[in-house]
Amino acid sequence: MTELNRLLESIHPVSVELRDAARRRIDHLTKPIGSLGKLESNAARLVQVFGTTDLRIRRRVIFTFAADHGVAEVAGVSLYPRSVTGQMVLNFLTGGAAVNVLARQAHAEVRVIDAGTLTPIGDPRLIQKRIGPGTRNFLNECAMTREEAVRCLEWGADVFFEEYRNAPIDMAGVGDMGIGNSTSAAAVLCALSGRPAQEVAGRGTGLDDKGLSRKVSVIDESLKQRRPNPADAVDVLAKVGGFEIGEMAGCFLGGASRRCAMLVDGFISTAAAALAIRLRPGVQDYLFFSHQSAEQGHARALQDLKATPILDLEMRLGEGTGAAVAMHVLDCAVAMYRDMATFESAGVDTAT
Tell me the catalytic residues. 319
Nearest of 177, 184, 196, 278 to residue 239 by alpha carbon: 184
Residue length of the chain: 352
What phi, psi does 289 have (nearest 5°)? -85, 110
Query: C-alpha distances in angstroms, 234 versus 263, 279, 309?
Result: 22, 8, 26
Q: Contact at 8 Å (CB) between 261 and 50?
A: yes
Spell out the alpha helix ranges (H) of 241-347.
243-257, 267-279, 296-305, 321-339, 343-346
What phi, psi does 106 have (nearest 5°)? -90, 5
Question: What is the number of alpha carbons within 13 Å of residue 81 lying toward its C-beta?
Answer: 3
Nearest of 122, 20, 113 to residue 67 by alpha carbon: 113
